Amino acid sequence: MDDKNMQRPDGVPAVENTGSSPRISIEPSQPEVQAQAGQTAQQPGAAYQPGAAPQQPGAQAAYQQPGAHQAGATAQQPHAQPTPQHAASMPATATVDTRTVVKTKTKKLPVFLASLSGLVVGAVLVIALVMTGALNIGETNVEAPALSDAGTSGTQTIQIDAEDTTLAEAVAAKALPSVVSISAVNERSGEGGIGSGVILDTDGNVLTNHHVIEGATTIYVEVNEESYEAELVGADASSDLAVVKIKDIDESQLTPIEVGDSNDITVGEWVMAIGSPFGNEQSVSTGIVSALYRSTALRGTSGTSIYANMIQTDAAINPGNSGGALVNAEGQLIGINSVIESYSGSSSGVGFAIPANYAINIANQIIAGETPAHPYIGVTVTSVNAFTAREQGLSVSEGAVVTSVNADSPAEEAGLQPDDIVTAVDGESIASADGLIIAAREHEIGETITLTVVRGDETFDVEVVLGSDAELQEENQDGTTGDSSGSLMDEDEFRQYLDDLMANR
């Protein structure tokens, strides 16, 4: 059984620019970092602990948000308790038991064949893109249209040498100017961190992760090696997305990203991740799309973030990459880098990005001043495990048990009742409360899903037309909520469960 759990890693601390500090420093311990009010945090370094214990075989892998590091945080240790690390370093503990939903399987290839295939594919892509004009590589430049959905238009022109340009060089030249470094500072606590963001338009709107800027009192964005203060336009903690707007910047300094279609990508496709890993802004890494439709949930100080239908990639994604861009071979945005799976807290070749189609939709709602809407069922649920099933005499040991049904909700219209246990969505098994919420988020508002429901000794299917939770959010309610903490037995429950089993032998 897969023991991997989601957790948020330590991130990149914001430090003062001394003008002489090396980017990578080795220190006996991580010093406390004080961010000065009104001062841009620059030149972050990654601190390591000499003599740290090596990773042991069989150590538990952790899913994490590769976001801004907490000031004063030490290097990630194996078996660390999952804790949320945000740009503003809000101290809180999150315990998450949700597994990643795997819907795409990829076959393993020998290293030699994979490497050879990568070289061949890369060469063919470069030739094909140049000949077809997809990258519009002329003798001296690359042109790309700006994001039109954000209400602006324009063209970015990047000067390059087309005679001897690799695919990675062409894509980096096109996309790098559109990815920025974000420093988020909490002046009250003196803490801060560094993440990444993507320029959406010439108005200065920048898309990033919510956990990068959460709790910040001051936000700075670095564009073309110049630091600008930014204001928060809006955020959606539920989808871990936020938009900030750069203040007092000339639009000629802004290069909006070109947005691709994240529905039109395939496993094995070449991609590039761009961001500020460990505070090293304007960094790129390349890889492929490893899998599609990965989903999970992470708890934080603002509630549970649902990550549905994520893109998995082996392009290196590290702390500080959160909010940065995942682009395709045409330099188009296809994802926002947000989560990593790692034993150590650093890249292990398993990173995840929120699909661009979903992220841009949420961003456009935020920019328009709307409340971001998500699909919802309209129930409050809790998880079922073997102990609770035995204690309550339930007929199943996995699933999401309905504790309440919202009035006038899709769930009420479908006939769901308290104490119903949802065990599957569209034939896919549901093991916990989070599983049900994730399954709903994997669909669109207005779509119909089929729930498999256990009511007493009866099992039947119910069709539910997913609604929008925008109105409920405005009323400070939640349309579909759940507590999956009960999906795993704690020590006392496990001991009682074993005692009951032995007594009945």
Contacts of 254 (CB under 8 A, 6+ apart): 199, 201, 202, 204, 223, 246
Radius of gyration of the chain (CA): 23
Token readout for 11 is: 């991130």
Instruction: Report yes or no: 271 and 289 within 8 Å, Cβ to Cβ.
Output: yes
The C-alpha angle with vertex 258 and arms to 252 and 260, in degrees rounded to 5, equals 170
Residues annotated as part of the active site: 211, 240, 322
Taking the C-alpha atoms of residue 456 and residue 458, their distance in angstroms, rounded to an integer, is: 6
What letter represents residue 55's amino acid?
A: Q
Q: Are 377 and 108 in contact (CB under 8 A)?
A: no
Helix (H) or strand (E) holding 272: strand 270-275
Annotate 387-431 with DSSP letters as a single string.
HHHHHHT-S-SSEEEEEEE-TTSHHHHHT--TT-EEEEETTEE--
- Please give the Cα distance from 350 to 317 (Å, whole number): 8
Q: Is the dihedral of CA 362, 368, 370, 371 positive or negative?
A: positive
In one-letter notation, the amino acid at residue 149 is D
Compute the distance between CA of residue 318 and CA of residue 455 in angstroms, rounded to an integer.
Answer: 45
Count of Cβ atoms closer than 10 Å to residue 492 Cβ: 9
Q: Are 311 and 302 in contact (CB under 8 A)?
A: no
Angstrom distance (rounded) from CA 256 to CA 218: 23
- Backbone phi and psi for residue 229, each to the nearest 5 degrees, phi listed first: -75, 150
198 Rama class: left (phi>0) / alpha (psi -120 to 50) / beta: beta
